[in-house]
Amino acid sequence: VLVLLAFQDTVLVLPQQSQSIVIYTGWERHALVGSDVRLSCSFFSWRWTSDDVTFSWTYRPDGSRDSISIFHYTGGAAYLDNKGPFRDRVEFVGNPGRRDGSIVLKNLDFNDNGTFTCDAKNPPDIVGRPSSVRLLVFETVPIQAGVITGAIIGVVLGLLVLIVVIYYLMRFLVARRVFNLSVRSVSGGLAALCPGRRPEPEPIPGTETCVAKQKK
Partner 1 sequence: MLLLLLGIVFLHVAALVLLFVSTITSVWTTGNIGTSDLWLNCTSVGGLQCNPASAGEWIQAVQAVMILSIIFSCISLILFFCQLFTLQKGGRFLLTGVFQILAGLFVMCGGIIYTVMSPNWVPETESFGYSYILAWVAFPLALISGVIYVILRKRE
Residues 6-45: x/- map of binding to partner 1 (CB under 8 A)? ----------------------------------------
Find the helix or strand (DSSP H, E) in which 116 lies. Answer: strand 114-121
Residue pair 119/25 in contact (Cβ under 8 Å)? The answer is no
Check binding of 146 to partner 1 (CB under 8 A). yes
With contacts defined by CB under 8 A, name the span among 16-24, 34-42, 82-90, 142-150 that binds partner 1.
142-150
- Minimum distance from residue 174 beta carbon to partner 1 (Å): 19
Q: Residue 155 or 204: which CB sits closer to partner 1? A: 155
DSSP-assigned letters across all residues of 10-58 = HHHHHHHHH--EEEEE-SEEEEETT--EEE-EEEE-SSPPPTT-EEEEE
Q: 119 to 138, contacts with partner 1 by CB under 8 A?
A: 134
Could you tell me the end-to-end alpha-carbon distance of the chain, in angstroms, rounded to an integer?
111
C-alpha torsion sign, points 202, 207, 208, 209: positive
Check binding of 148 to partner 1 (CB under 8 A). yes
- Minimum distance from residue 147 beta carbon to partner 1 (Å): 7
Check binding of 157 to partner 1 (CB under 8 A). yes
Check binding of 140 to partner 1 (CB under 8 A). no
Q: How many residues bind partner 1 (CB under 8 A)?
A: 16
Q: Residues 13-29, buried b or exposed e (16+ Cβ, 10 A)?
A: eeeeeeeebebebbeeb
Footprint on this chain of partner 1 (rule: CB under 8 A): 65, 134, 142-153, 156-157
